[in-house]
Chains A and B, each alone.
Chain A
Amino acid sequence: MNGAALLEIRNLRVRIEGQEILKGITLTVRAGEVHSIMGPNGSGKSTLAQVLAGREVYEIVEGEVLYEGEDLLRMSPEERARRGIFLAFQYPVEIPGVSNLYFLKAAMNAVRKYRGLPELDAMEFLALARERAKLVELDESLLQRAVNDGFSGGEKKRNEIFQMALLEPRLAILDETDSGLDIDALRVVAQGINALRHPDRAIVLITHYQRLLNYVTPDVVHVLYDGRIVKSGGKELALELEEKGYGWIAEEAIGSART
């Protein structure tokens, strides 16, 4: 499955409010791959996801990121989105008063316009939205409601996957989309992810649990610890982590830093 490098992160160091959170991340994601990033709370997983999506509150201290061979860090968040980067938020944001459908139609057409495709009219979009809502078993009434406004935790997560299914990104980064889901929802989310898998696309799954990986088999599992990727391996690594926790990895990491 080794396609072209879609995302190349080189020695990325990131600071917020004077504190260094990412301390030199190097990672290459190729088209067709699924990567999983695991790591204890506060290790910097969301920070990495948000920096890749263009959140401007973070300060890039050093390093570079190439997306499709181009300098990602110089692109605005909307340009990244239009070029196919999608972030499923760990905490999806509520936008009162703006209907989900209206919001997504505007988003979809902004993306299509950027790619030189004709905009979808209301009817075309509605048909597509219904089809994708079915795919992720999203209750249709949620389409009419304001974006994430008053949604339950699980509904918010499902809505993120629904958006992903609509926007068909080239690089999808899912930040703990599997947290707080019941078994059925987990299966649906996995279904959404698997439906997106394609030799031209890549998926980065940030997760704490091995259970999602039962449904979506990752090509690589990385452990992020205190702002560094301290270990990478195959899908067995996830099982090992679940069994033994992060302590042993921390020791290994410290050990290797000493030598």
Chain B
Amino acid sequence: MATPTNIIEELVNREYRYGFVTPVEEELLPPGLNEEIIRMISAKKNEPEWLLEWRLRAYRYWAKLVEEGAEPRWANVTYPPIDYQAIRYYAAPKRRPKSLDEIDPEIRRTYERLGIPLEEQERLAGVAVDAVFDSISVATTFRQKLAELGIIFCSFSEAVQEHPELVRKWLGSVVPYTDNFFAALNSAVFSDGSFVYVPPGVRCPMELSTYFRINASQTGQFERTLIIADEGAYVSYLEGCTAPMRDENQLHAAVVELIALDNATIKYSTVQNWYPGDREGRGGIYNFVTKRGKCLGRNSKISWTQVEVGSAITWKYPSCILIGDNSVGEFYSVAVTNHYQQADTGTKMIHIGKNTRSTIISKGISAGHGQNTYRGMVKIMKGAIGARNYSQCDSLLLGDKCGAHTFPYIEVHEPTAQLEHEATTSKISEEQLFYCRQRGLSAEDAVSMIVNGFCKEVLRELPMEFAVEAQKLLGISLEGSVG
């Protein structure tokens, strides 16, 4: 009988499409973490002394947390203890390209199979791509064109070499290494990531995009992204992620920092499709990520949009600190958990400036044995006169073995603040499916249509090319992807 549950099961049982391994020779550091490893990472990247010192301070802070047993346990997820000494903290393809033409053909093929063209001429219209393969960035397209406008878009390592003053000024200014356990770990061992700087008054003419790929086994990925939009600047940035299928769990602990100055806007979109593990919950990526933006300037705006369909466990809260008067924070999220996936995700909106506004739209979809938790905080500080927040958290259940949970925390220290919160939980019913099928739609298309309808408010926030991609992905992750 075609109940929603078994349709979802069928859909969900399709294979993960990005689970292949690329046969390239990689340079690997031995597993384990100590000061020596950190010095080696730093030396490989020819980093300045101040950065090495910063990494070491972060490492010592993290080591203290480990000693105190202070790894966070408050999220609504369960997993066996992680052995941090068994993880490899650096893996990089041996052949380092000097230009796009020199990219290892195997890696080029990998990105082609993932649908990410590295060739500028066969680009997605108007999207510049930075591709990060395991620990290092392998290609950044469209550099030249962007440079003419004064926009810096390069790998983090290059930024350290070529724009050390910018990196030094802003690194850790939004997410200090003391912020949390995984941020400390990332600060100690981060290997690469993307760096963006948009100068005053410049509107970045194309989507900037980073594609993260984990390839090597037993390896963690710890990238670091830093985006600065100077006064009156605008930038839209998108990240995508995939990884091979493996029985082991791999750790991904990234840090993303965004800074928006006066009248600047940053739009940050994520389509996260790390390997989610198999049907029985074996393997998959642990996605423990710290993402935060600071609206430093007046009238600045930071908008997070995320479509989270992959990973065995997702633990992330892209947040906004609204310091500048009239600044705006937004969080639009779709999180899908299927099989034995677990997600604990949401946002923090901290209102400090006057007339600051924030919007939170969260859509959680659970299928199989998936557990989906929304956890969000809205904090209105004293003096944030006229602050406003609107939060909406909707959950959709497909089947009866999955779960949806909502934990909204609200803290208000300013009497003029206005907050609104709405929450709903619904199920795809047998009646809905039958109605769609009676009109000629297949069960898969019906589920996909209902799920996409449920997520519409979030999907329309994505840049167009990626909205289509994300819709497919939703279909795929439930039927394989939402087609």
Write the residues of chain A forming the contact surface with B, with a CB cutoff of 8 angstroms: 53-57, 76-78, 80-82, 86-87, 89, 92-99, 102-104, 106-108, 110-111, 114, 146, 163, 167
Contact = CB atoms under 8 A, between A and B. Distances in A.
Contact of A111 (B426, B440, B443): B440
Most buried by B among A57, A86, A98: A98
B450 A98 contact: yes
A170 to B, nearest CB: 13
Contact of B431 (A87, A93, A97, A146): A93
Contact of B434 (A77, A110, A163): A77
Given A93-B431, A93-B435, 7 more contacts: A57-B430, A76-B2, A77-B437, A78-B437, A81-B440, A97-B450, A103-B436
B453 A95 contact: yes
A57 B1 contact: yes
Interface string B407-441: 00000000000000000001001111011111111
Nearest to B430: A57
Contact of A98 (B1, B429, B453): B453
Nearest to B445: A106
Contact of B436 (A55, A82, A87, A95): A95
B61 to A, nearest CB: 45
A150 to B, nearest CB: 14
Contacts of A114: 440
A95 B450 contact: yes
B440 A107 contact: yes
Contacts of A97: 450, 452-456
Given A89-B435, A93-B435, A110 B441 contact: yes
A99 B452 CA distance: 11
9 contacts: A57-B430, A93-B431, A95-B449, A95-B453, A103-B436, A103-B449, A107-B439, A110-B440, A167-B440
Contacts of A86: 438
B34 interface: no
A98 B78 CA distance: 35
Contacts of B439: 81, 103-104, 107, 110, 163, 167
A77 B450 contact: no
Contact of B438 (A87, A96, A98): A87
Contacts of A89: 435, 438
A167 B442 CA distance: 16
Contacts of A81: 437-440
Contacts of B437: 54, 76-78, 81
Given A56-B1, A98-B449, A106-B445, A93 B432 contact: yes
A180 to B, nearest CB: 18
Contacts of B443: 78
Most buried by B among A80, A82, A99, A107: A107
A110 B442 contact: yes
The 4 lowest CB-CB distance pairs between A and B, nearest first, are A97-B453, A98-B453, A107-B439, A93-B435
Nearest to B434: A55
A238 B453 CA distance: 43
B440 A146 contact: no
A99 B456 CA distance: 11
A96 B435 CA distance: 13
A78 B445 CA distance: 11
Nearest to A148: B435
Nearest to A56: B1
Contacts of B431: 93
Nearest to B428: A95
Nearest to A109: B440
Nearest to A80: B438
B453 to A, nearest CB: 3
Most buried by B among A78, A80, A81, A92: A78
Nearest to B426: A96
Contacts of B440: 78, 81-82, 107-108, 110-111, 114, 167
Contacts of B436: 95, 103, 107
A95 B445 contact: no
A235 to B, nearest CB: 29
A89 B452 CA distance: 24
Nearest to A99: B453
B453 A77 contact: no
Contacts of A92: 435
Interface string B117-141: 0000000000000000000000000
A102 B445 CA distance: 12
A53 B442 contact: no
A159 to B, nearest CB: 12
Most buried by B among A53, A81, A106, A114: A106
A256 B435 CA distance: 39
A80 B455 CA distance: 30
A25 to B, nearest CB: 20
Contacts of A53: 434, 438
Contacts of B432: 93-95
A55 B438 CA distance: 9
A93 B434 CA distance: 9
Contact of A54 (B429, B430, B438, B441): B438
A164 to B, nearest CB: 10
Contacts of A57: 1, 430
